[in-house]
Amino acid sequence: MDSIRISGGRRLSGRVRADGAKNAALPALAASLLTDQPLDLRGLPLVQDIRTMVRILQHLGGQAELGDDPAGGSSCLVRSDDETTHELPYEIVKTMRASAMLLGPILARRGRARVSLPGGCAIGARPMDLHVTALEALGAELAVEHGYIVGEVPGGRLRGARHHFPKVTVTGTENLMMAATLAEGTTELTGCAREPEVVDLARLLTKMGAKIEGAGTDCVRIEGVGELHGAEHRVLPDRIVAGTYLVAAAMAGDDVTVEDIVPGDLTALLGVLQDVGVDVEVDATSVRILRNGPRKAVSVRTEPHPGFPTDMQAQYMALATQVEGLTVIEETIFENRFMHVAELDRMGADIRVSGHSAVVHGRTPLSGAQVMATDLRASACLVLAGLVADGETTVGRVYHLDRGYEHIEEKLRGLGAEVERISDRRVETTA
């Protein structure tokens, strides 16, 4: 099992490119199930979740192959022209939460589905009932049996309907948006997620012939069509990967530029970094972080987009240990997303958790230690803490990290960090 070792204290400088957005690439791959024509997807990050989704599509009879994208990232030409399989077993989906979004496309085109309840990070409940209730509103008949969601569509085609999501759900919005593209009639969804990844999926579906209005607002209207066709699409940059490098620069950087990003998707984080005292220069497709004066504590509350993203909470907590004063971080999205606190405390942090809030006592020296990642973003948090810790930090269970970050150790080394990946078989490289 791989781990990452960091020798702290090195200052960062230079330029780093953000990956394509994992959370945009996964629904784009899922959308291939809606047509028998090929999708040519570009700019995909070569992370474990993408490899898992490709295996899922192959299991469902699709032809899918990852390749290099000359413009950056990876490409995938995928064609789902075999509709004979409608079942996804636990062995395939157990490592990835995003498998939930496959239920809608499978039902919409194949008329029946048997999909294992998903696995992934243990950061709290992501209830499938939001998906199930919404799909039932479109005419699907669904039940949970022995760890599987089993469903069929009487008559073979979903029907347009009005549905309100009682809680904002990104994958639920994406799931229903895909399903409704092939439904008979018009579907109106309210209470929708407004994340940039939802908008990116709507762009792809529109290229495929879907009729969608309102993506990026809380009300999305989809007029169903008889069939969709193939398309070419480049996924948007990953705002969370970009944000992780921006926080790394705020913690340990002298002059760092994060390139190939959409700064408008990072408005909440950039505003907080400026309030903390970080010198931020924003360009059309990049953000530059410069070393300047003292950092001060700024409290945050996670919220659905366009609020402060829950996927940046752990990384921001690492920064909060290095600023002057007390930072209160309130987590409103997932109930178990403070599991990294115990590992930060092992490194010398002073953090107290009460309910859904964590109080971080800032300007606390960190010392290197052996720590264990509990989920994807916690992994990144511990790597960032290691950058400023005294001595050596070893982060275990980095298979979590590999689900969402492509070669993070190489990119940090390119900025001057002393980071290496340790494998059971070999040390891959050293700084």
Where in the sequence numbering do the catalytic residues fall?
A: 121
Q: Which residues contact 63 (CB under 8 A, 6 or more apart)?
A: 77, 78, 79, 80, 81
CA 118 – CA 137 distance, rounded (Å): 22
Do 124 and 334 form a contact (C-beta atoms < 8 A)? Answer: yes
Q: Containing H/E element for 41?
A: strand 39-44
Residue 61 gets the label, from left (phi > 0), alpha (psi -120 to 50) or beta, of: left
Half-sphere exposure in the Cβ direction for 249 (13 Å, CA) = 33
CB neighbourhood size of 144 (10 A): 13
Residue 396's DSSP bridge partners are: 372
Quick one: which of 318, 302, 299 has its CA closest to 247?
318
Query: Which ranges of 234-288 does DSSP label H, i.e. alpha helix?
Result: 239-252, 267-276
Closest to 212 (Cα-Cα) out of 225, 196, 197: 225
Strand partners, 353: 358
Name beta bridge partners: 339: none
* Integer-rounded Cα radius of gyration of the chain: 22
Rounded to a whole number of angstroms, the distance between the first and last alpha carbons of the chain is 21
Give the Cα separation of 120 and 99 in Å (integer): 9
Question: Do residues 380 and 405 lie in contact, with contact meaning Cβ atoms separated by under 8 Å?
Answer: yes
**What residue ranges in 103-210 does DSSP mark as E strands?**
112-116, 141-145, 148-152, 162-164, 186-190
**SS3 assignment, position 198:** helix
DSSP string, 351-386: EEEETTEEEEE-S---B--EEE--SHHHHHHHHHHH
